[in-house]
Homo-oligomer: A and B are copies of this chain.
Amino acid sequence: MGKSEGPRRPVRRDAGRARGATVAAAVLACTLEELASAGLEGMSLERIARRAEVNKTSIYRRWPTRGALVAAALEGVLDGLAAAPPDTGSLRGDLLALLGAVASLLQAPVGLAVARAALSAQAAPEVAALAGRKLREGAKDPLRALVARAKQRGEWRAGADGVLLVNGLIGALLHRALLEHAPLSPRWRTALVEQALLGVLRPAGVRR
């Protein structure tokens, strides 16, 4: 930055800031690519610097640890997940849209690497802390909106819990993608949502 940070040179300062932001964005994009191809443990700062065409030291200056760099790169991805799901007109449709977005993420190499990094707290505490915070807090508002719409439509069972619902749905996706290594097909996702809506217990009084 140096000279361009002088208080009397607003035009060059803005240019410097813009350049800094572009470089940071490039470094974070290359970090995600490296994470996807090498994983959290295998990633190399040297390769990231080479891809982003910057010095390793300028990465270190801004993000002093590998965990801090990965956490910064993931912030945008996790924010995207917390975006409000569309209003499709039914609880079933809203949940399918939500799961479709998460499944797309988990089926892309970057998203799969993100999920693995977020789950491996021992390897990178900054990453785990960020993921935990984003998931606990960031997803609250969109989920509240989804549940509020379902209540307005008269679809929501009294006593049902939106957080438990979404934990179970996303947990099932993680289980299937990361432990079973099975595909998250639309058909499987639909069956998952149907069962979360209806439960597994035979309704009282129904005998077949």
Q: Which residues of A contact B (CB under 8 A)?
A: 39, 41-42, 91, 113, 116, 118-123, 128, 131-132, 135-136, 150, 154-158, 160-162, 164-165, 167-176, 178-182, 191-192, 195-203, 207-208
Q: Which residues of B sit under 8 angstroms from A119, Cβ to Cβ? A: 116, 119-120, 174, 178-179
A133 to B63, CA, bound (A): 39
A150 to B200, CA, bound (A): 10
Q: B202, A158: Cβ atoms under 8 Å?
A: yes
Q: Which residues of B sit under 8 angstroms from A123, Cβ to Cβ? A: 39, 41
A126 to B126, CA, bound (A): 27
A7 to B202, CA, bound (A): 62
Q: B179, A39: Cβ atoms under 8 Å?
A: no
Q: A198, B157: Cβ atoms under 8 Å?
A: yes
Q: B116, A179: Cβ atoms under 8 Å?
A: no
Q: B200, A165: Cβ atoms under 8 Å?
A: yes
A123 to B116, CA, bound (A): 10
Q: Which residues of B sit under 8 angstroms from A165, Cβ to Cβ? A: 195, 200
Q: A202, B154: Cβ atoms under 8 Å?
A: yes
Q: A201, B41: Cβ atoms under 8 Å?
A: no
| 16 sampled A-B residue pairs with Cβ under 8 A | A39-B120, A116-B120, A119-B119, A119-B120, A119-B179, A121-B181, A131-B179, A135-B179, A154-B202, A157-B199, A157-B202, A161-B191, A168-B192, A171-B172, A171-B173, A171-B174
Q: Which of B41, B131, B154, B199 contacts A196 (CB 8 A)?
A: B199
- A147 shortest CB reach to chain B, Å: 9
Which of A156, A167, A191, A208: most chain B Cβ within 10 A?
A167
A116 to B117, CA, bound (A): 10
